[in-house]
Amino acid sequence: MLIFLKIQSEVDKLSAYHPLTEQEAIEFSRSIPEFFPAGAVLTSREIGDGNLNLVFHITDAASGKGLIVKQALPYAKVVGESWPLTLDRARIESEALILQNELAPGLVPTVYKYDAELALTVMEDLSDHVIMRQGLVDGNKYPKFAEDISTFMANTLFFTSDLGMNQQDKKERVKAFINPDLCKITEDLIFDDPYTDSPNNNFEAAIADAAEALRNDDALHLEVAILRNKFLTNAQALLHGDLHTGSVFVTAQSTKVIDPEFAYYGPIGFDVGAVIANLLLNYAGQAHWIKDEAELADFRSYLLGSVREIWTKFENKFGALWDEHNADRLASSASGYKQYYINKLLQDSIGFAGCKMVRRIVGLAHVADIDRIEDAAEREKAQRLALEIGTSLIHLNRQAISIEQAIDIVLSATTKHV
Amino acid sequence: MLIFLKIQSEVDKLSAYHPLTEQEAIEFSRSIPEFFPAGAVLTSREIGDGNLNLVFHITDAASGKGLIVKQALPYAKVVGESWPLTLDRARIESEALILQNELAPGLVPTVYKYDAELALTVMEDLSDHVIMRQGLVDGNKYPKFAEDISTFMANTLFFTSDLGMNQQDKKERVKAFINPDLCKITEDLIFDDPYTDSPNNNFEAAIADAAEALRNDDALHLEVAILRNKFLTNAQALLHGDLHTGSVFVTAQSTKVIDPEFAYYGPIGFDVGAVIANLLLNYAGQAHWIKDEAELADFRSYLLGSVREIWTKFENKFGALWDEHNADRLASSASGYKQYYINKLLQDSIGFAGCKMVRRIVGLAHVADIDRIEDAAEREKAQRLALEIGTSLIHLNRQAISIEQAIDIVLSATTKHV
């Protein structure tokens, strides 16, 4: 008993958590060895979107160098301080970033320091990049993205799964990334609310009929229940867990995946599906942002091409890792198993993509690709198109055998919603 | 740093693990409050089968009372001291027993005390019971077993799954029952060795052709790879993890499930399949133990009836818990999902039952129901029958829609191996 009392008193003494001021963020970033020149005049700007974290951008005008200081808040601001969130997610984010940087070098920001007491991570400044969601809304193409994101997913997902690492070590990793609070957000907002009359839902009156249709589609509920169950139980690989285009910093030459605070062991298709869904949400909104018909057709064809390319490259890279680095004798030798496994990944990716589209239209949190469309009629059209694609992907998922089926769904829904 | 050094020195001081002598086991059992009368003359007998644990039976001849003191060994004796096993499995066993006793009262031994340092659990003496495997070999029927084991499985599996408990608390429980060492035994001995040329395998020369056939059956390997993957990744419920008839103490009126040291979060069908497999292993051996044809037919019909009854009662009880206690809104409301889920449990149960039969014939650890048959030709016949049933169940698993299909497999294999 004595020993535990002793530990507790040490913890109390050390426990110094409080949200940093900008001045404190500057002081903290001076502690990174050999980063800023001695005596540098540092400035700080809080640039977080403020839902879950404080994000300080620390810069030294003289050297042009910068750092990001990210601190977790003990609640989710989006729903007020009443939704408490464990600060342990800062550890999860930091450990996930470090691991992802080992498995997919250069595709995530470098972590310089993690402070457990303050739930704070100091990492690479990416202010020369833009958030991909905004880049797409602005009509920019990212020719390296499909290559990079497929490498990121194939490497991080394969090498954290039972296929790519020691299976006993993997169990310890599952334990280290148990993440109940953040998983609950996904379980509620993606896999429950949109299909029932939840106070968390947030949709416009104009599409009330479509929202109601979601609540009354028995076949859809069966598919979502199956996908939800996979999210709850299928500890396949260490996911990023929130891999939408708002979690990706890009330039024409560079891709950096950020914000893995939702990381946990779950179904691989959940990450792949998130990427696909967010490209398709942008697709649904583009008729507003691009007025010229030929330009629109070109950009949409770029987006659909990206979806195809991302899946195909992911499939090929994951398959190549399977062939070269398989740590599981039977998985590696059982005839037909690789094909079976990868086809299940395709099916899951399509199903989860559908769920992620639906929730961005009727659920709590929306996306700028569609929400920022000012014209109500155009916004409604985009929302209906996204819902049509999303629900069709969900209905398809367990029957899917090719990414072309998903592409066909998008094309045929587009024709319907002209 | 100082704080960690302090803790370590406390741990070193307290760390007193050593295998107990019989005298120490007696002293330890005196520490259970109000169990043995003051001044009782206690005797101890080590009764473990000695693979993984010491088991002391402590008795007081005067009062007739007894206790079991079970201590984990830091290695698996079955393969010598070179296979180290974490002592943490004693914690897992003790916590699993306490939880199972809450969820299925009276169907596991009561735990009186757990000592983490000594990896030791003091529990209810069940020496008025017999190990079910021996009881079945002796030709005894256990009319209450199907009722009890189906209750045990339905209650412990439903209420530890995402269906029957808070889904965030479940994740913490997954963490508490991460069990890499014991899972590895299963992963190797059940889901790998029998299908390759492993030095762990152990089969008689007479069935070398059948063992070779296992190594060359592509379709079988695909099914086993899929089942192995479920064992590795599907955190459905807190399993017993080793639910064979050697882990069950019985009398005509009582069933007590023991030894949950393999407990971890895995696929529900693995427990159900273990029970079915071990009844069918006994079935395969009975032609030796019972010479009279009518008696044999009667006992086999009792065993097959038990398999049917166990599945049917399990299905009904699990379904009733689903209807009354479902903690998952969507799972509960999605039309057709309950039927889908329970049919998957049937398929998994059949597949895992097959794997467990196969490994007991060609793998490292065998069962007395078949191994103790003295006549070589009869033993071979029983082994071939068990292999035929096991492989057929594996081939069937993903197509199964009724337990009757499993029963039919047994009947038709029996005809073939007369």
Q: Is A292 labelled a binding residue? A: no
Instruction: Please give the average per-residue pLDDT across B327-350, as a whole number.
Output: 97
Residue type, A263: A
Q: Is A125 labelled a binding residue? A: yes
Instruction: Please give the average per-residue pLDDT across B400-406, as a whole number.
Output: 98
Structural domain includes residue A358:
yes
Instruction: Please give the average per-residue pLDDT across B204-229, as a whole number.
Output: 98
Strand partners of residue A122: A69, A113
Chain A: residue whose CA lies nearest to B226: A337
Q: Closest approach of chain A CAs to the CA of B335, in angstroms?
A: 6
Pairwise CA distance, residues B173 & B178, whole Å: 9
Pairwise CA distance, residues B387 & B384, whole Å: 5
Helix, strand, or coil here: A34?
Answer: coil
**Would you say residue A7 has pLDDT above 50?**
no
Pairwise CA distance, residues A5 & B345, whole Å: 46
Judge: A340–B222 Cβ closer than 8 Å, yes or no: yes
- Do B278 and B396 reside in the same domain of the chain? yes
Residue A10 pLDDT level (bands cut at 50, 70, 90): very low
Mean pLDDT is lowest, of A1-15, A73-87, B29-43, for A1-15
- Do B156 and B193 reside in the same domain of the chain? yes
Nearest-by-Cβ selection for B10 from A3, A232, A333 = A3
Residues of A in contact with B330 (CB under 8 A): 191-192, 195-196, 221, 224-225, 228
Pairwise CA distance, residues A195 & B124, whole Å: 49
Instruction: Please give the average per-residue pLDDT across B279-299, as a whole number.
Output: 93
Mean pLDDT is lowest, of A396-405, B236-245, B289-298, for B289-298
Instruction: Please give the average per-residue pLDDT across B265-277, as a whole number.
Output: 98
Residue B14 pLDDT level (bands cut at 50, 70, 90): very low
Q: Which pairing describes strands B53-60 and B42-46: parallel, antiparallel, or unpaired?
A: antiparallel
Residue B134 CB partners (closer than 8 Å, separation 6+):
B368
- Do A303 and A251 reside in the same domain of the chain? yes
**Would you say residue A401 has pLDDT above 80?**
yes
Q: Closest approach of chain A CAs to the CA of B222, in angstroms?
A: 5
Judge: B330–A218 Cβ closer than 8 Å, yes or no: no
Is A132 in contact with A249 (CB distance < 8 Å)? yes
- Do B45 and B137 reside in the same domain of the chain? no
What is the reported pLDDT for B79?
54
- Do B134 and B116 reside in the same domain of the chain? no
What is the reported pLDDT for A11?
40
- Which letter does DSSP use for residue B162 in this model? T
Among B222, B336, B406, B361, CA closest to A343: B222
Structural domain includes residue A4:
no
pLDDT tens digits, one per residue of B347-385: 999 999 999 999 999 999 999 999 999 999 999 999 999
Q: Give me the number of domains chain B comprises.
A: 2
Residues of B in contact with A88 (CB under 8 A): none
Q: Write down which residue in B83, B102, B124 finishes a domain.
A: B124
Among B334, B174, B294, CA closest to B239: B174
Is B321 in contact with B159 (CB distance < 8 Å)? yes
SS3 content of chain A, % helix, strand, coil (to 5): 60, 10, 30
Cα three-residue angle A318-A359-A259, rounded to 5 degrees: 55
Q: Determine the structural domain holding residue B65 and report its residue range.
A: 2-124
Is A144 in contact with A252 (CB distance < 8 Å)? yes
What is the reported pLDDT for B204?
96
Helix, strand, or coil here: B159?
Answer: coil
Is A237 in contact with A265 (CB distance < 8 Å)? yes
Among A263, A22, A241, A249, CA closest to A124: A249
**Would you say residue B399 has pLDDT above 50?**
yes
Residues of A in contact with B191 (CB under 8 A): 330
Structural domain includes residue A30:
yes
Is A97 in contact with A68 (CB distance < 8 Å)? no
- Do A176 and A211 reside in the same domain of the chain? yes
What is the reported pLDDT for B289?
81
Q: Is A411 labelled a binding residue? A: no
Is A270 in contact with A354 (CB distance < 8 Å)? no
- Do A57 and A148 reside in the same domain of the chain? no
Q: What CATH code is carried by the domain that includes residue A393?
A: 3.90.1200.10
Structural domain includes residue A241:
yes
**Would you say residue A5 has pLDDT above 90?**
no
Q: What is the DSSP track for A368-418?
A: HHHHT--SHHHHHHHHHHHHHHHHHHHHHGGG---HHHHHHHHHHHHHHT-
Instruction: Please give the average per-residue pLDDT across A335-341, as a whole number.
Output: 97
Is A271 in contact with A239 (CB distance < 8 Å)? yes
Residue type, A364: L
Chain A: residue whose CA lies nearest to B8: A3
What is the reported pLDDT for A77?
62
Judge: A331–B225 Cβ closer than 8 Å, yes or no: yes
Structural domain includes residue A13:
no
Q: What CATH code is carried by the domain that includes residue B95?
A: 3.30.200.20
CA distances from A412 to A246, A291, A379, A407, B59 (A): 27, 21, 19, 9, 77
Mean pLDDT is lowest, of A11-25, B153-167, B323-337, for A11-25
Chain B: residue whose CA lies nearest to A220: B334
- Do B303 and B391 reside in the same domain of the chain? yes
Instruction: Please give the average per-residue pLDDT across A185-214, as a whole number.
Output: 97
Q: Write down which residue in A56, A90, A124 finishes a domain.
A: A124
* Backbone phi and psi for residue B105, each to the nearest 5 degrees, phi listed first: -55, 135
pLDDT tens digits, one per residue of A216-252: 999 999 999 999 999 999 999 999 999 999 999 999 9
Task: Give which of A14, A185, A196, A232 to mutate to test B binding, by max B Cβ within 10 Å.
Answer: A232
Is A373 in contact with A379 (CB distance < 8 Å)? yes
Judge: A195–B336 Cβ closer than 8 Å, yes or no: no
CA distances from A280 to A351, A370, A398, B228 (A): 13, 11, 20, 35
- Do A212 and A300 reside in the same domain of the chain? yes
Q: Write down which residue in B124, B140, B168 finishes a domain.
A: B124
**Would you say residue B7 has pLDDT above 80?**
no
E strands, A120-238, where?
120-124, 130-131, 237-238
Pairwise CA distance, residues B220 & B393, whole Å: 10
Residues of A in contact with B3 (CB under 8 A): 7, 10
Among A321, A302, A351, CA closest to A153: A321
Q: Is B45 labelled a binding residue? A: no
Looking at per-residue pLDDT, the higher value among A82 and B291 belongs to B291
Residues of chain B above pLDDT 90, percent: 88
Q: Mutual orientation of helices B337-362 and B376-396 as an angle, nearest 10°? A: 150
Task: Give which of B85, B187, B195, B330 to mutate to test A binding, by max A Cβ within 10 Å.
Answer: B330
Q: How many CA within 13 A on the CB side of residue B403?
A: 21
pLDDT tens digits, one per residue of A95-138: 999 999 999 999 999 999 999 999 999 999 999 999 999 999 99
- Which letter does DSSP use for residue A110 in this model? P
Tokens matching residue B341: 């889920």
Burial B207-241 (b: 16+ CB within 10 A, else e): beebbeebeebeebbbbbbbbbbbbbbbbbbbbbb
Structural domain includes residue A257:
yes
What is the reported pLDDT for B6?
40
Pairwise CA distance, residues B220 & B214, whole Å: 8
Instruction: Please give the average per-residue pLDDT across A67-84, as a whole number.
Output: 76
Nearest-by-Cβ selection for B195 from A218, A232, A330 = A330
Helix, strand, or coil here: A180?
Answer: helix
- Through-space distance between the first and last CA atoms of chain B, rounded to whole angstroms: 71
Pairwise CA distance, residues A25 & A58, whole Å: 8
Structural domain includes residue A7:
no
Residues of A in contact with B185 (CB under 8 A): none
Q: Is B260 labelled a binding residue? A: yes
Instruction: Please give the average per-residue pLDDT across A13-34, as a whole number.
Output: 86
Burial A310-326 (b: 16+ CB within 10 A, else e): bbebbbebbbebbeeeb
Number of Cβ pairs < 8 A linking chain A and chain B? 127
- Helices marked H in A177-292: 180-189, 208-215, 218-233, 268-289
SS3 content of chain B, % helix, strand, coil (to 5): 60, 10, 30
Is A181 in contact with B168 (CB distance < 8 Å)? yes
Nearest-by-Cβ selection for B232 from A3, A162, A183 = A162
Tokens matching residue A18: 């409080």
Is A378 in contact with A285 (CB distance < 8 Å)? no
Is A287 in contact with A296 (CB distance < 8 Å)? yes
Pairwise CA distance, residues B398 & B418, whole Å: 28
pLDDT tens digits, one per residue of B120-172: 999 999 999 999 999 999 999 999 999 999 999 999 999 999 999 999 999 99
What is the reported pLDDT for B291?
85
What is the number of other CB atoms lying within 10 angstroms of the CB of residue A337?
23
- Do A393 and A334 reside in the same domain of the chain? yes
Q: Is A359 labelled a binding residue? A: yes
- Do B388 and B239 reside in the same domain of the chain? yes
- Do B92 and B138 reside in the same domain of the chain? no
Strand partners of residue A248: A257
**Would you say residue A291 has pLDDT above 50?**
yes
